[in-house]
Structure 1
Amino acid sequence: MKKYLRPDEWCVIEEGFDPANHRASESIFSIGNGKMGQRANFEEKYSGSSLQGSYVAGVYYPDKTRVGWWKNGYPEYFAKVLNSPNWIGINVHVDGTELDLNYCDVENFVRTLNMKEGYLQREFDATLDGNKKIHVKAQRFVSMADTENGAIRYEVTPVNFSGKISFTPYIDGDIENEDSNYDEKFWNILDVDASEGAAYLESQTKKSDFRCGFAMRYQATVNGKAVTTKPELIQSAKWVGNRIELEVKEGEKACLEKFVGVTSSLNYATDVLRSNAVELATCAYKKGFDQLFADHKQKWEDKWVHSDIKIKGDVEAQQGIRFNIFHLNQTYTGEDERLNVGPKGFTGEKYGGTTYWDTEAYCIPFFLMTSPSQVTRQLLIYRYKHLQKAIENAAKLGFTDGAALYPMVTANGEECHNEWEITFMEVHRNGAMAYAIHNYIRHTGDYKYLEEYGLEVLVAISRFWSQRITFSEAKNQFVMLGVTGPNEYENNINNNWYTNKIAVWCMKYTMEALNYVKDSHPARYKELVAKMNFNSGEETQRWKDIMGNMHFPYNQELDVIMQQDGFMDKEQLMADDLDPAQRPINQYWSWDRILRSNFIKQADTLQGIYAFEEEFTNEEIERNFNFYEPRTVHESSLSPCVHSILATKIGRIEKAYEMYLRTSRLDLDDYNAEVHEGLHITSMAGTWMSIVEGFGGKRAYDQKLYLSPVIPEQWQEYAFRITFKGNDLEVRVTAKEVEIISHAKETIELYLYDELVSVEANESKTVWR
């Protein structure tokens, strides 16, 4: 854990420049708007260690898989999140000396991420050759209102001299991906063009042929007055810009405002990429920085109304949850069904792909409760549109007759993860797809989704389970062999309880969905049966046989569920037994040693208990929690949130608070020593779950809403806002009372501590605890 950021309710603040922290800060201070994003790289040149990152949503590169031993069924490529042409660059010279924080004396450095208004700002004093001191203030944002625009305001003030300040705003296409499998560059540059006050660059991905257009306009002022100066036009094969020089007196402020328009072939025909990018940059230039920012700020205000969580009395906890909500909202907006929630969002390259099972398991609860239902529907439709690819993925592994295996990692529906223990074995991801449909419907009541899209997905997934499960003569039960559960520190094991559990649940839920569509919409049911070539009697009988006789590992002596067959054959150590100097173990131990240990990376059995909590008594949850949590090293970002929710359920509020801080400040405090590679965007939704489903006790069963709030002793009060079946309500909790505030247009009924409560439209009701 590394703490160097100042706690603040609405901002993330770094005081003092330490190059050793810079890569981590580049991740933490990243900004985005759902369509594009940018790591917190410096605008001016920086020759120190840096991971340049500029990203355009939906654009990827199929980097050929690199493995030592090719196995049948391997994906041919690993889809890479692309570092795209760098549009933020502004080189700065002071009387001919280049500003580079790696070589000059830096004082009063403050970097701020303003989460309320959605912008990144830096201020610092730099002393260059000849003891010339300048004060620099740089602010930038990518617009939430004009989502193909970015803007920068860069100010330089000579502190102790008068002289020449030169700005070189540019676009650089000569960029690389740090995680390239074969050290190749992924872009061709098709066009560069510099003109007075403007520049344009067009790039094309190799192989996948995505095209992106980047246009810039700029304006310069001194002490707020526009300056007209003849620029030097600079362009090369992969780089384009303008250079201007300003005479500035001591104490005067030289300012360059840079406006960028970004287009991609996902949204425009290739022959109009340039004209539209130029128009976007020009419109932003004419609107001006202040108005562009005002429109952007208003969008953020609207988002915070519905998604903010307020905590009184604990600044670090408040900062942590807002940091997580901020990054979730700027990563995915739900406006494009072709996009999804990437595990690193717009903050880094690691992991590749744009979609993991994290979306269905963790992100959907957040978007369900904080956004219009259409946003979550878009995420489900995204998977529906990849159903044929999922069927093809399963076919590559030998499955037939319309069985579907959704990819572990994907950019376009095709599996592109190249680790065999994941690609072939972590099949529980299929269950998350089905559970997401169930979760969506029980929160929205949108059963129409089943007949339109959902039923086809559910049948294809159940067909996969039916073929993946085999019958064991020795056990006289059905079993599932050779899998990896959510705990990725166990590979190629038999009968992972969570996988077996969610497989059986999927088949049960699919049968319920079939019956619903058959009874409610018989014509559509008949149409779907024909489309899927579905043999109801034969296929559902197989599912029933499995459901009635599936093997679930259990230890009678301990009276706990077993994570998988043979788990107790391992030496039973506790995470507290580990040498702190050897943590995280995935950075110090061999993979062989990890696999032979009993240490658990993240919630596995407890993940299943969380998903199907209504099937377990509090005593059963407590026994399993007390067995598994001490063996868990929490080295997955997805782990602390589930443990926090279950700890709250069994009354272990201090443990729940500990896990909440770990999940909410996972990246801010760099618990796993990896934030320099990018943030853990999808697990950030788990932080929200820790409060709303954990401390808030929010549940939804049979389309009914339940709340059972508790409050950590460190907090004076907390409040969150959720949407349920189209109704908007706010929940405020103190040690003495719970207030339900309705923002709905009709009466809301919910269960508070298992008692039915009605709240009239735009009224509130307070219940003493």
Structure 2
Amino acid sequence: MNIDYILPNEWSILEEGFDKSQATASESIFSIGNGAMGQRANFEEHYSGETFQGSYIGGIYYPDKTRVGWWKNGYPEYFAKVLNAPNWIGIEIKIGDEQLDLNTCAVSDFSRELNMKEGYLKRSFKATMNNGDQIQVESIRFCSLDLHEIGAIKYSVTPVNFSGSIQFSPYLDGGIMNEDTNYDEVFWKVLDIEDRDNDAVILSRTLKTKFYVATGMHISYELNGKEVHLPKTVHEQEKRIDYVSKANLNQGETISLIKFGGYSQSMNHPKEQLISQSQKVLYQAASLGFDTLLGMQKKAWANIWETADIIIEGDVKAQQAIRFNIFQLNQTYSGEDSRLNIGPKGFTGEKYGGSTYWDTEAYCIPFYMSTKDKHVARNLLQYRHNQLGKAIENAEKLGFKNGAALYPMVTMNGEECHNEWEITFEEIHRNGAMVYAIYNYVNYTSDYKYVPEFGLEVMIAIARFWHQRASFSEYKQQYVILGVTGPNEYENNINNNYYTNYLAKWCIEYTVENLKKVKEEFGADYKRVIELTNLTDMEVVNWLKVADAMYFPYSEKYGVFLQQDGFLDKELIPTSELSKEDRPINQKWSWDRILRSCYIKQADTLQGMYMFEDRFTKEEIEKHFDFYEPLTVHESSLSPCIHAILAASIDRMPKAYEQYLRTSRLDLDDYNHEVHEGLHITSMAGTWSAIVQGFGGMRNFDGVLSFNPQIPDEWSSYSFKINFRGSTLKVHVSHEGCTFTNESEMPAEIFVSGEKRLIKKDELVTV
């Protein structure tokens, strides 16, 4: 990618000049959303060049039939797909008799801005038509944070060197297909099209899942900033409706189309009320007006940035990158609906099906806990509790009994819907992430009530799974876990993955610890949970036998825990000896070659040392880092952030900074040559952690909040805020020192470089 493609800017993502070869990449990078819906940055006007149409609605999916060469018991019946929703942004433009199309006309002065501070997408350009007529176009678009079912567009056209007619055809299109569709499949059925005054609504239903969605639009016009009425002709087709209007303009006059659109859906409203609900919210938006709604958008984003912002001085590209990551996370998940979660691509593409992965529990929870109210993270935990019954069903399909639960690798509704054997059945470490998220949440927020209310049921079901999944080895006289895939997906069907075994042991011990605490302090809840789960004291004894005798592969020669049995049978060639022609290996090598290599896709053994850092000495972490990081190709978006945090913890700041840049600018600089498919949303939470936990050294073990601040040489200073148990702390780090400010009523007790500090309201403490 051209290094000047995305211009450095502290608050905006900027593109200047129109490069058709970057069109689909830009559609990903400039994506917008509001937590309930989102869309790629497709042009409003017709574009005949390469494009990836994408508009998505939270919670709407389709169960596409799993296609495999053979069928095994327990195999998922379908692969979930996020659905490309009906298109509400479309506006066809004609200048005279010629259609505006940036692929066929001459384009100049093209610029595109994703304004992250205020939450909108802006585009402007000049287009010269084949007859020489030139127009100036400017569009502003956003998905409202205040009205979650509404998006807004202001599309302005000015004739530059002529006077003449300009025709607008804003439309709704229900005949949409997925980019990843098989055999030209259609996933939507259009049920009704309604037209009323300046409003149009298409009512659609998904096949199989039967989600109902009303896609609406409201149209108005302004001439030189003043509202005008343009007569319209309605063109209605089987799956589409257009409003066609024409304006005769003098040279230099500006005509603006104001289009409000969006989705009302059956997860939130009775299906028979969807059309009236769409009309209602469109009327609400139109009554407020574009400028008022945009002003509300700016205020809503100002409130988000008040806590979520990270300020970096002295490094514009680093500053731009972290704000881009924070911006996209807030566009993807607002935390108001426990039925929704965070897909790896969010609302920016269709890869990974838009489903929920273990990324949420392992990477995203800390960001949402620290930058928002605790109920947001609680809703993420609640999402998994609500799907506990399905997790038990998933385990039963594989032969597990007695209420053991296996949470899915990929899901929309709690059912497993991943169609790769080595991941679906072997990457069972995701089960441990569910319990770790509960631990992380309780430890950080002190909201222990979640455990007796909901968390303990999940822990018991997962402890049962680990107890049944482990096998006793007569040879080793220890418990082993066979046939797994760890976080390093470049090795499948291996035995005794260190990270998986460690999580299994820890999950059992943590569950037993909480059983005792709930029994002592929440007797009624304890009785309810025991009756619900039929848990016996003897079953718990048997769990602990597994935990106490868990096997961990270890190398005396290297003094490290081994990623799995047989890891040292591989030829250990560091990645530094790989040629550029071989990178990335997942695009250049056969799968057979990858599986036989020593190369690690992402943090695996080191993932465990990150999560349980307090259980290892600094020397142990350093030894493991020096052994595994040189073998890691970082071809997972989830890899650089963990390595950045650990590198900072062992005083390897150059390596930490290198990995921070890689994680923060993964999409902006397209490290993995795949940004056209969508952004890496869940790893963006890890980018936040790379600064706060990495450079800031923030830790929270045993309910104690501590910091060990460091600063990269490339920065002058940086600062961030966190919410912690009712306190809002601002941390500012420079080469001269570090300051902590309490911006809340609640006093905050912290440890800085091992020294205890109590920071009172509005107090600033310098270290």
Q: Give runs of aligned pairs for residues 562-711 of structure 1, distance below 5 A.
A: 562-711=562-711
Distance 1:66 1:21 in 2: 32
Alpha-carbon distance between aligned partners in 2 of 1:81 and 1:196, rounded to the nearest angstrom: 33
- Distance in 2, matches of 1:740 and 1:99, equals 55
CA distance in 2, matches of 1:181, 1:622: 48
Alpha-carbon distance in structure 1 between the residues aligned to 2:585 and 2:715 = 33
Kept in 1, the 8 Å contact 2:345–2:354? The answer is no
- The alpha-carbon deviation at position 577 of structure 1 amounts to 1.7
CA contact (8 A) 1:455 1:510 kept: yes
Q: Give the secondary-structure state (helix, strand or coil) at the position aligned to 2:353.
A: coil
User: What is the CA–CA distance in structure 2 between the aligned matches of 1:532 and 1:296, rounded to whole Å?
Assistant: 47
Asked if the contact 1:63–1:180 (Cα under 8 Å) also holds between the matched residues in 2, the reply is: no
Shift of 1:610: 0.3
| Partner deviation per Cα, 1:523-548 (whole Å, 9 max, x = no partner) | 32122111101012x22212221222
* Cα offset, 1:182, TM superposition: 4.3
Letter in 1 for 2:675: V
Tell me if 1:299 matches 2:309: no
Mapped partners of 2:130, 2:197: distance in 1: 31
| Matches of 1:343 and 1:176, distance apart in 2 | 21
Change (3 A) 1:199 1:493: same
1:529 aligns to what? 530
Q: 1:193 Cα deviation (Å)?
A: 2.7
Q: State how far apart, in whole Å, the 1-side matches of 2:524 and 2:141 are.
A: 55
The answer to whether the 8 A contact 2:108-2:126 is kept is yes
What is the one-letter code of the residue matched to 1:599?
Y
Q: Deviations over 1:321-355 (max 9, x none)?
A: 00000000110011011001111111000001421
The alignment's TM-score, normalised by the length of structure 2, stands at 0.99
Q: Secondary structure at the match of 1:305?
A: helix
Report the count of equivalent residues: 766
Q: Distance in 1 between matches of 2:309 and 2:326?
A: 7
Residue 228 of structure 1, CA deviation: 1.8
One-letter identity of the residue aligned with 2:673: A
Task: Return the offset for 1:64.
Answer: 0.6
Paired residue secondary structure (1:609): helix
- Runs of 4 or more consecutive aligned structure 1 residues displaced over 2 Å after TM superposition: 180-183, 193-198
Is 1:212–1:264's contact at 8 Å kept on the other side of the alignment?
Answer: yes
Question: 2:736 maps to what in 1?
Answer: 736
Determine the C-alpha separation between the residues in 2 that align with 1:271 and 1:126: 44
Instruction: Please tell me the residue identity of whatever aligns with 2:590.
Output: S
User: Could you give the per-residue CA deviations for residues 398-446 of structure 1, whole angstroms, max 9, x where no partner exists?
Assistant: 1000000000000001110010001000000000000000000001111
Q: Percent identity?
A: 57
* Structure 1 Cα separation of the partners of residues 561 and 67 of structure 2: 38
Equivalent residue of 1:257, what SS?
strand
> 2 CA distance for matches of 1:151 and 1:678?
22
Cα distance in 2, alignment partners of residues 638 and 137 from structure 1: 37
| Mapped partners of 1:635, 1:259: distance in 2 | 40
Listed one character per residue, the Cα deviations across residues 146-193 of structure 1 (whole Å, up to 9, x for unaligned) are 111110000111111111111111111111112124431110011113
Cα distance in 2 between the residues matched to 1:289 and 1:520: 54
8 A contact 1:231–1:242 mirrored in 2: yes
Q: What CA distance in whole angstroms lies between the structure 2 residues aligned with 1:375 and 1:524?
A: 24
CA deviation map 1:626-676 (0-9, x unaligned):
111111010000000000000000100000000000000000000000110
Quick one: which amino acid aligns to residue 264 of structure 2? T
CA RMSD for the aligned pairs? 0.9
- Whichever residue aligns with residue 597 of structure 2, its letter is S
Q: Residue 69 of structure 2 corresponds to which residue in structure 1?
A: 68
Deviation at 1:226, TM superposition (A): 2.4
CA distance in 2, matches of 1:607, 1:572: 20
1:518 is matched with which residue? 519
AA at the equivalent of 1:748: A
Q: Deviations over 1:504-559 (max 9, x none)?
A: 000010011100001111232122111101012x2221222122211101110011
> Are 1:759 and 2:759 an aligned pair?
yes
AA at the equivalent of 1:12: I
The question of 1:132 aligning with 2:133 is answered yes
Q: TM-score, structure 1 length as denominator?
A: 0.99
Q: Is the 8 A contact 1:260 1:281 kept in 2?
A: yes
Q: Distance in 2 between matches of 1:335 and 1:83?
A: 23
- 2:451 corresponds in structure 1 to 450
Aligned to 2:106: 105
1:388 equivalenced with 2:381 (yes/no): no
Per-residue deviation, 1:127: 0.6
**Consecutive unaligned residues in structure 1, runs of 5 or more:** none
Q: Shift of the alpha carbon at 1:293?
A: 0.8
Partner of 1:549: 549
Q: Is 1:194–1:235's contact at 8 Å kept on the other side of the alignment?
A: no
What does residue 92 of structure 1 align with? 93
Shift of 1:194: 3.3
SS in 1 for 2:155: strand
Q: What's the counterpart of residue 166 of structure 1?
A: 167
What residue number does 1:233 align with?
234
**CA displacement 1:555-594 (0-9 Å, x = unmatched):** 1001111100001111211112222122211112111111
State the AA in 2 paired with 1:545: K
Q: Which residue of 1 aligns with 2:178?
A: 177
| Structure 1 contact 192–240 (Cα < 8 Å) conserved | yes
Partner Cα separation in structure 2 for residue 492 and residue 2 of structure 1: 40
1:575-617 Cα offsets, whole Å, 9 max, x none, are 1222212221111211111111111000000000101111111
Maintained 8 Å contact 2:664/2:684: yes
- 2:611 and 2:52 map into 1 onto residues whose CA distance is 38
Q: What SS does the corresponding residue of 2:222 show, helix, strand or coil? A: strand
Report the equivalent of 2:142: 141
Higher mean displacement: 569-578 or 87-96: 569-578
